[in-house]
């Protein structure tokens, strides 16, 4: 074999490996912060590609998208430009679990993001497969990134490198007895980089995910299915958009169900499913199972929901959400055609499972920088997470911190009390994840504070301090914040006497009369009253934007719960702010249990808070550690 000669190309501040949802946010963040950035992709046609579901957002994932937007990221703006249906999930429940979800026109989403990427100052796109992570080892034994090499032999010097390889590392697509060595949708895979990462001392995992078939719309009988419409009142993902900015005609989705015949076909062919035959080596996601998994794990269920989602206005391809599979093609045909409305279904793309390499994310700091290699960051599915939204959330943090590392600044960390992004990253780097990680509202301890509606109030200050939020946007944010505070104060100060007119009005509004002077704020605590309905009792009010009113009402209605969570956060912050020196000697803490000592030495937590979340470290261990840290601090002061 002829050896490929090496040669040096232009130098960059930041090199990003991959242009999926993590790579796009990482590259845009670094470039927008003034770093000369190059973003590598195996194909420029796959920039921000949506190889699986055709939607952005959903339960808890909608929170992540709005947080990315609040920090100055692009995903929220891009889905606002390219959605074909929008719906607020869990609308009948409390605001903590409200989650925005939008169906995307896949091609429009990709094209729109590609346009942004290719026209961003300081950002260069490059179609090439990165084959090697380059670094040098200092006299202190610490590795430091120097750049990357591609399969062509080109060396690109870089001060920081971000791995955002998605599902492309040694990818293998499988259905039935068919195994193809490609990335998703038949795209090229990356076959060299895993070996380079292992050689650098990184531990790798092998994970698996899957996707359902795409069906030709013309072969579907939608008349026997339930139509699923979007919301009349569209809520934008991006805080920079108003509802009127993104109004458009929406495309319906449809709902149907599997049946006993479907399940019978699946059971009869389980021995041919790579999932059960042993042909698939990677670990799959627990919370997004294939239809084979559902039938096996829930034998008492006689049907499962199947949502038919258009892939875009440009195509007849329909995505069968809830019916991913890796069964053989002929079994897929029989299985899908057993479903009501799909009796004549024609498959455009077969369902398949995909295996890929990813790193053990516990090798990262909360900044997403690698502990073993300075200047090397990782984000997205290469960290063992699943989903476009989880990827984007990690991408923007990795991009910000890579840029700050290059600029000699300290990295930022969003903690668990500040955002779902903080929960996501903390879980990945602190807890051993042996399956693709999916964000869920139940993972967030302070979810009443971490609502999607207040993501800007929580994170825009940080985005502005970092440099991703413009002065114009920041001024609008401050005006909104001031308007909320002013209206809360005004409502608390405007009081109504128990006059006959007031009592009669309250009675007509379906609520109890008052017997003493009562503020408008107190009245708004009543669930039967709304901000709009009490307008008849509040003639002096000014017209306020909907998002301001929303925050005012939530703060009034949930004040007691919010205050309670704020107190919990105060306790959390005390542990989180108690830093642990990186070279702390756990062997010198005599009362630590053996398991705790082993885990603490392995994970090297940056704070007492992070230490408390490591599996195998008990509250008693934390108490012992706290005492030792206080002694060490006193001793240092005395010295």
CATH assignment at residue 539: 1.10.10.1800
Of residues 235 and 274, more confidence is placed in 235
Task: Find the mean pLDDT for residues 223-241.
Answer: 96
Decide: 250 and 86 in contact? Cβ < 8 Å.
Answer: yes
Within this chain, do residues 329 and 227 fall inside the same structural domain, yes or no? yes
Decide: 89 and 98 in contact? Cβ < 8 Å.
Answer: yes
Per the domain annotation, does 285 fall within a domain?
yes
Within this chain, do residues 558 and 512 fall inside the same structural domain, yes or no? yes
Buried b (16+ CB within 10 A) or exposed e, 502-525: bbebbeebebeebeeeeebbebbe
Within this chain, do residues 348 and 235 fall inside the same structural domain, yes or no? yes
> Final residue of a domain: which of 352, 379, 402?
352
Q: Which two tokens stand for residue 74?
A: 């692009």
Within this chain, do residues 330 and 249 fall inside the same structural domain, yes or no? yes
Is the pLDDT assigned to residue 639 strictly greater than 80?
no
Rounded Cα distance, 401 and 413, in Å: 9
> Final residue of a domain: which of 565, 592, 610?
565
- Dihedral angle, C-alpha 614, 618, 624, 626, nearest 10 °: 50
CATH assignment at residue 634: 1.10.150.570
* pTM of the model as a whole: 0.94
Q: Which of 4, 30, 17 is CA-nearest to residue 133?
A: 17
Looking at every residue in the chain, the average pLDDT score rounds to: 93
Per the domain annotation, does 332 fall within a domain?
yes
Task: Find the mean pLDDT for residues 69-93.
Answer: 96
Rounded Cα distance, 91 and 99, in Å: 8
Within this chain, do residues 218 and 348 fall inside the same structural domain, yes or no? yes
Beta partners for residue 374, in sequence order: 144
Range of the domain at 343: 214-352
How confident is residue 285, by pLDDT bands cut at 50, 70 and 90? Answer: low
Other Cβ atoms within 10 Å of 615 Cβ, number: 10
- Dihedral angle, C-alpha 592, 369, 64, 122, nearest 10 °: 170
**E strands, 151-261, where?**
154-163, 172-175, 178-180, 204-211, 214-216, 226-228, 253-257
Per the domain annotation, does 612 fall within a domain?
yes
Decide: 447 and 439 in contact? Cβ < 8 Å.
Answer: no
Non-local (6+) Cβ contacts of 208 within 8 A are 280, 281, 282, 283, 284, 353, 354, 355, 356, 436
Within this chain, do residues 341 and 241 fall inside the same structural domain, yes or no? yes
Within this chain, do residues 519 and 604 fall inside the same structural domain, yes or no? no
Q: Which two tokens stand for residue 62?
A: 């909608």
CATH assignment at residue 312: 2.40.30.260
Within this chain, do residues 508 and 596 fall inside the same structural domain, yes or no? no
Rounded Cα distance, 442 and 639, in Å: 46
How confident is residue 287, by pLDDT bands cut at 50, 70 and 90? Answer: low
How confident is residue 289, by pLDDT bands cut at 50, 70 and 90? Answer: confident
Within this chain, do residues 247 and 347 fall inside the same structural domain, yes or no? yes
Per the domain annotation, does 176 fall within a domain?
no
> Final residue of a domain: which of 565, 597, 626?
565
Q: Which two tokens stand for residue 432?
A: 């051993």
How confident is residue 638, by pLDDT bands cut at 50, 70 and 90? Answer: low
Rounded Cα distance, 614 and 557, in Å: 35
Q: Which of 315, 252, 307 is CA-nearest to residue 109?
A: 315
Within this chain, do residues 501 and 537 fall inside the same structural domain, yes or no? yes
Per the domain annotation, does 549 fall within a domain?
yes
How large is the angle between the packed helices 106-118 and 75-82, nearest 10 degrees?
130
Rounded Cα distance, 619 and 105, in Å: 49
- The maximal CA–CA distance of the chain, rounded, in angstroms, is 96
Decide: 373 and 143 in contact? Cβ < 8 Å.
Answer: yes
Of residues 274 and 473, more confidence is placed in 473
Q: What 3-state class would DSSP assign to 8?
A: strand
Of residues 176 and 278, more confidence is placed in 176
Q: Which of 90, 74, 93 is CA-nearest to residue 82?
A: 74
Task: Find the mean pLDDT for residues 388-411.
Answer: 98
Rounded Cα distance, 605 and 239, in Å: 34
pLDDT digits (tens, 9 = 90+) for 520-533: 999 999 999 999 99
Q: What 3-state class would DSSP assign to 302?
A: coil
Q: Which of 240, 185, 217 is CA-nearest to residue 73?
A: 240
Q: What is the pLDDT of residue 620?
A: 87
Beta partners for residue 17, in sequence order: 40, 163
Per the domain annotation, does 539 fall within a domain?
yes
Q: Which of 374, 414, 371 is CA-nearest to residue 394?
A: 414
Within this chain, do residues 500 and 614 fall inside the same structural domain, yes or no? no
| CA distance readout (Å), 382 to 175, 285, 359, 425 | 23, 14, 6, 13
Element (H, E) at 410: none
How confident is residue 634, by pLDDT bands cut at 50, 70 and 90? Answer: low
Considering its fold, how many domains does the chain have in total?
Answer: 3
Within this chain, do residues 496 and 625 fall inside the same structural domain, yes or no? no
Per the domain annotation, does 119 fall within a domain?
no
Strands 373-374 and 143-150: parallel
Supply the DSSP string of 47-100, one letter for each residue.
TT---S-SEEE-TTHHHHHHHHHHHT-SHHHHHHHHEEEEEEETTTS-GGG-EE
Per the domain annotation, does 629 fall within a domain?
yes
Is the pLDDT assigned to residue 597 strictly greater than 70?
yes
pLDDT digits (tens, 9 = 90+) for 31-56: 999 999 999 999 999 999 999 999 99
């Amino acid at each position: 074999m002829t050896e490929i000669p090496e040669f040096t190309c232009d130098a960059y501040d930041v090199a990003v490996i991959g242009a999926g949802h993590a790579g796009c946010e990482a590259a845009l963040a670094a470039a927008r912060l003034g770093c000369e950035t190059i973003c590598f992709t195996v194909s420029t046609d796959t920039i921000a590609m949506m190889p699986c579901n055709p939607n952005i957002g959903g339960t808890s994932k909608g929170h992540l998208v709005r947080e990315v937007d609040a920090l100055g990221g692009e995903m929220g703006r891009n889905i606002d430009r390219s959605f074909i249906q929008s719906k607020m999930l869990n609308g009948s429940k409390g605001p903590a679990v409200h989650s925005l979800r939008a169906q995307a026109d896949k091609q429009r989403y990709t094209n729109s993001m590609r346009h942004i990427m290719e026209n961003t100052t300081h950002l260069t796109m490059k179609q090439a497969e990165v084959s090697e992570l380059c670094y040098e080892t200092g006299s202190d034994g610490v590795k430091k990134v120097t750049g990357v090499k591609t399969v062509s032999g080109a060396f690109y010097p870089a001060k920081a490198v971000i791995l955002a390889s998605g599902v492309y590392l040694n990818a293998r697509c499988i259905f039935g007895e068919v195994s193809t060595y490609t990335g998703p949708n038949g795209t090229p895979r990356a076959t060299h980089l895993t070996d380079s990462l292992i050689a650098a001392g990184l531990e790798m995992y092998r994970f698996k995910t899957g996707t359902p078939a795409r069906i030709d719309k013309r072969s579907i009988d939608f008349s026997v299915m339930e139509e699923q419409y979007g919301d009349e009142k569209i809520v934008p993902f991006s805080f920079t958009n108003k509802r009127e900015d993104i109004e458009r005609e929406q495309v319906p989705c449809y709902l149907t169900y599997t049946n006993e015949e479907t399940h019978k076909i699946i059971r009869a062919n389980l021995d041919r499913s790579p999932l059960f035959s042993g042909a698939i080596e990677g670990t799959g996601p627990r919370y997004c199972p294939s239809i084979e998994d559902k039938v096996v794990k829930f034998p008492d269920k006689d049907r499962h929901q199947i949502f038919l989602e258009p892939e875009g206005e440009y195509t007849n391809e329909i995505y069968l959400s809830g019916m991913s599979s890796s069964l053989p093609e002929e079994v897929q045909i029989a299985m899908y055609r057993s479903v009501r409305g799909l009796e004549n279904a024609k498959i455009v793309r077969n369902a398949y499972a995909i295996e890929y390499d990813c790193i053990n994310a516990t090798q990262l700091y909360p900044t997403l920088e690698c502990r073993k290699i300075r200047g090397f960051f990782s984000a997205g599915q290469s960290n063992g997470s699943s989903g476009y939204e989880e990827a984007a959330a990690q991408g923007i943090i990795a991009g910000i911190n890579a840029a700050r590392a290059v600029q000699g600044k300290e990295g930022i960390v969003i903690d668990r009390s500040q955002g779902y992004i903080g929960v996501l990253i903390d879980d990945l780097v602190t807890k051993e994840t042996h399956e693709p990680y999916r964000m869920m509202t139940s993972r967030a301890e302070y979810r009443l504070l971490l609502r999607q509606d207040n993501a800007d109030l929580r994170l825009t200050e940080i985005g502005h301090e970092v440099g991703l939020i413009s002065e114009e946007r920041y001024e609008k944010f401050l005006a909104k914040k001031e308007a909320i505070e002013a209206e809360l104060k005004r409502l608390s100060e405007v009081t109504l006497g128990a006059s006959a007119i007031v009592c009669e009005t309250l009675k007509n509004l379906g609520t109890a009369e008052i017997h003493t002077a009562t503020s408008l704020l107190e009245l708004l605590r009543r669930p039967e009253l709304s901000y709009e309905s009490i307008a008849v009792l509040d003639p002096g009010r000014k017209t306020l934007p909907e998002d301001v009113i929303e925050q005012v009402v939530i703060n009034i209605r949930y004040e007691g719960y919010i205050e309670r969570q704020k107190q919990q956060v105060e306790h959390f912050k005390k542990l989180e702010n108690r830093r642990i020196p990186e070279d702390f000697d756990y062997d010198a803490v005599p009362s630590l249990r053996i398991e705790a000592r082993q885990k603490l030495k392995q994970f090297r937590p940056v704070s007492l808070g992070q230490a408390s979340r490591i599996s195998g470290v008990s509250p008693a261990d934390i108490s012992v550690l706290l005492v030792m840290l206080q002694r060490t601090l006193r001793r240092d002061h005395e010295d």
